[in-house]
Each structure stands twice: as C-alpha cells, then as structure tokens.
Amino acid sequence: MYISNSAASSWKLNLIIIRLGIGFGEVMDDICTLQNSLKILCTWKCKSNNNKIRFSKTLIQKPISQLLKPISCLHPLAPPHTIPQDNSTKHKTLLVESYHEHRRLKVLLAKLNKKGSCPLEMLQDDGDWSKEHFWAVIRFLKLSSRSKEVLQVFDTWKNIEKSRINEFNYEKIIGLLSEEDLMEDASLAFMEMKSFGLSPSLQIYNSLVHSYARNGKFDDALFYLNQMKETNLPLESDTYDGLIQAYGKYKMYDEMGMCLKKMELDGCSPDCFTYNLLIQEFAKAGLLNKMERVYQSMRTKRMDLRSSTLIAMLEAYVNFGIVEKMDKILRRVWNSKATLKEDLIRKMAVVYIENFMYSRLDDLGDDLSSRNGKTDIVWCLHLLSNSCSLSQKGMDSIVRDMEQAKVSWNVTFANIILLAYLKMKDFTHLRMLLSKLTNLHVEPDIVTVGILFDACDLGFHGTGILETWRRMGLLYRCVEMQTDPLVLTAFGKGQFLRRCEEAYSSLDPNAREKKKWTYCNLIDLVAKNNGKQHQLNAR
C-alpha cells in the first residue's frame, strides 16, 4: 500500500501527539449546542516524576448539562432552563479556551514535525511559549530523537522570563539530559545552575551519578557523589543503588562489595531494594556464595525478596544444575505467584532429565497447569515424564486426558510416544501410531523419519509405511525439524539422525547450499554414505 510523504508525515505527528498524551476534541460551529452534547474536557498538567516529563489528561465524558450543575442540590430532573446562566457561560468559556489552547499546541507540534524545523527560530517568531507549550516541545524533541536541541531551547526560553531560572526547571532538564546520556550538556546545565546561586537537589545529583556510572565513567560519578557529601545533602540508598547496578553491568563485582561498605560508612543503610539488587547482580554473574550471603542477610533482617530476585536465584541454580536448591527456590517462586518464562521452564526440565528425575517433569507440568492452563509445554512435560519412565499405563492416561480436553496432536506429541515404543521395542504399538498419523493430521518430520529407520535397523518391517509416505508426497517435502528440542534431550538423536549429520558434513560447502534437501534426498545421501563406510570397513 502506497503512503504519500504528506500522509506519512501526518501519521508520524499523530503518533507523537498520542505518545505525548494529548487529545483534541471536535468542537461544533455553534457553541450554544454544547449544552446538550457529549464533549471531552481536557486539562493538561505537566508533571515531574523521577526526572521524566509526563503529560496527563483528565477526560470527562458527560453531558454538558451535568457538568453545569451547581453544587447546590438541584432536582436531577430539573429542566435545562433552571440552570443558572452564569455557570453555563463559565463552562462554555472554559471549553472554548481549552479548544483554542489545544489547537495552538497542535499547530506548534505540526511545525516542529516538518523537515528541517528549528525550535529556536519558532520560539523567536512566537515571542514566547507558555509553560505547557514549552514542556510539550521538550517532550516532542525527546521522542523525536532530537534531545541535543533541548539545552539550547531551554536557555532561550528561560532567558525570556527570569523567574524560569529555578531549581524545578533545572532538575527536569538535567534529568532528561542524563536519561538521554547527554552528559556534557547535563554538566553544563549543572554548572550554569550553580552560577545562578541555585542549590542542586538530591534528584539532580542522582541523575548525574547514575548516568555517568551507567556509561562506565565511574570517576565522574564518584566526583558528583563526593560533591553531595560536601554540600551535606542527606544521602539516600537510591544514589548507591545506581552505582551498584552499574558496577554489575560492567562485571566489577569487587567494586560492588566496596560500594556497599562505603554506603554503610557514609551512614546510609542499605534498604530492601539494595539487597534485592545485589542478589540479582550476583546471580547473573553466577557468584553463588556472595548471592547466598546477601540472601541470608535479608532473611535475618526479615526483608522481602522481590519476585524478580527469586527468579534470578532460580536461574542461577538452574544454570549450575543444583537440583535441591533449585527446587527450594522454585517453591518460593510459585508461592509468590510470579510468572516464569518458557525458556526457564525448559532449562529446569533439562536439569531434571539429565538427573533422571522424570517424575519432577510431571510435577512441573502440574504447577504450570494450575497457573497457565494446559498449554502445549504442559502436555509435553507430562508425556515426557511417562515416556522417559517407559510407563505404558502413564502414556495411555495422558493420551486419554488429551482426548477429553480435545487437544490437537502435533509431531512433538507423536514423536515422544514413538520414541518410547522404539526404546521398548514395542513394534506393535509403534506401527499402530505410525499408521494413525494421517488421521491425527500429523505430518512426519526428520525425527519421525529417523524413528522409522532406527526401528528398521532393529528388525521392524517399515517398508509399507515408507511407501505410503512416498505415495502421499510427504518424502518429497523439504526436510524440517518440528519436534520440541526437549524430546531430543530426553531420548537423544538416534542412529539415523547422527548418520544424516555425518553424511551432510562430508559434503562440499557449495553442494550443501545449492541443493534443495527433501527427505528422499537425505535418505539417498545416508544410504550412499553408509555404503561407502561399509566398503571402507571391508577393506
């Protein structure tokens, strides 16, 4: 679909307006009809929270007749003419002023959105901007990746009215520049602020310390930290938390410990957030001893662990395969009602499989089911638990549950059961399931083909099934691996798949890339390569 340049520009402007949190209501030509219409009354506020400029709006969707009711108790069914006219006039005036204000702002943002726009020239042409318009422009520049223009615009705007040279405005500007990692501009604004005799707040110092540390400039970060002490600002844990997080980012774990000690010496006690942060950073680094020491300190102090901290600890134990501690933290995670990502679930399943703890797969599936319902990964875990244990009764029970739940089969479910039959050398059930794949709407993948050939090596007569697949055209399809990797972790690749890898790796790189590999091609390649191996062995 073709979009013109003007349409694209308009779309971009609308997107930025939406992200700014600005809405524009339609106003009727005749203001008098507002009294019986539904309108949106937008009031704009410029807030400062955590050094981020946010714009909010209050949407009131009511008939104007309700908006115009006086505080005194009018009867709810009183006719419109009983409403005092002065109230009506005030509300009409408010609506009209609000409409024109938003229209002016929309025009301003539209000018900014034009290619090559210069906010300094626009400010000079307009003469001045209101506080609301100025911060809307600053937010626009940030969202448009034009934050380098912020300091110049601020300098020009504040010099128009000297009362704008205050701690509040500098705090927001320095916070925004620090957030955007424009540290040279942030430092310039900081020095200029001090030249005006203004006292930087704790929030300003935190912005500078955190941003310098986040960018690996720890000498600069510590410079501003020392300035905070010299000015006798009351230190808070948040300042040190930013340093600790930055040390963790750059794998400076010894410095993390030193920062904690420095924090305590400076009379700033670590809080719950500090301890959670330390555990998370040590967990990511795999420093289990340090992680556990902080964890014990938290328990002694009766501080709460965040769900994200518990998950970080869990992942650390999973990575090291420490089953006992992994299970202990996992219980705490479930009690916290935290949500685990599927990749972490798979990592835990691998740990259980490698330790031959197949029943734990069933437990893991039950825990997941109670929280997220019976998803494919849940059925996979249940089937693997019983298939790895070679429990025919257990597999049959899971299959019945799947049928009752009307679960659609896929190649992963089929291959799990087929591999169990292959391992048990139960060729009767193997043949039955292979013959039912078409009815189950399951197409074989490379793992299924491998199971068939591995079974043939053990004496299974699978020629008929192979011919059926050939007649159906399944063997002329491109080779695919649709089976869940957990299945190969549990049962291994099998002889046929290993032969495929050997035959494929023996080819010239150009030959691998040029050929479109179908199952027939791969079967022929394995047979040819296997024949060569037999000849070499005979020699």
What are the tens digits of pLDDT across the range 472-491? 999 999 999 999 999 999 99
Please choose, from the candidates 361, 481, 473, 459, the residue with its C-alpha nearest in 3D space to the C-alpha of residue 411.
481
Contact between 388 and 424 under an 8 Å Cβ cutoff? The reply is no
Which pair of structure tokens corresponds to residue 181?
């990692």
The whole-angstrom distance between residue 94's C-alpha and the CA centroid of its chain comes to 42
The whole-angstrom distance between residue 498's C-alpha and the CA centroid of its chain comes to 37
Please choose, from the candidates 381, 458, 392, the residue with its C-alpha nearest in 3D space to the C-alpha of residue 429.
392
Residue position matching structure tokens 């006086």 = 70
The helix (run of H) or strand (run of E) holding residue 503 is helix 495-505
Q: How far apart are CA 447 and CA 452, in angstroms?
A: 9
Please choose, from the candidates 63, 90, 84, 61, the residue with its C-alpha nearest in 3D space to the C-alpha of residue 72.
84
Whether the per-residue pLDDT at 73 is higher than 80: the answer is no
Residue type, 388: C
Helix crossing, 131-143 with 167-179: angle to 10°? Answer: 10
Domain boundaries, the chain: 1-27+34-69+84-114+122-145, 428-539
pLDDT digits (tens, 9 = 90+) for 15-66: 555 455 544 343 333 333 333 333 333 333 333 444 433 333 333 333 333 3
Q: How far apart are CA 488 and CA 448, in angstroms?
A: 12
pLDDT digits (tens, 9 = 90+) for 310-330: 999 999 999 999 999 999 999
Contact between 109 and 115 under an 8 Å Cβ cutoff? The reply is no
Residue position matching structure tokens 């318009």 = 133
Contact between 489 and 350 under an 8 Å Cβ cutoff? The reply is yes
The whole-angstrom distance between residue 217's C-alpha and the CA centroid of its chain comes to 27
Q: Is 284 left (phi over 0), alpha (psi -120 to 50) or beta?
A: alpha
pLDDT at 63: 38
Contact between 131 and 145 under an 8 Å Cβ cutoff? The reply is no
With H, G, I as helix, E, B as strand and everything else as coil, classify residue 103.
helix
Higher pLDDT, 75 or 393: 393
Phi, psi of 341 (to 5 degrees): -75, 155
pLDDT at 514: 66
Higher pLDDT, 4 or 516: 516
pLDDT at 243: 95
pLDDT digits (tens, 9 = 90+) for 84-133: 556 677 666 767 667 767 788 888 989 998 988 999 999 999 999 999 99
Residue type, 135: W
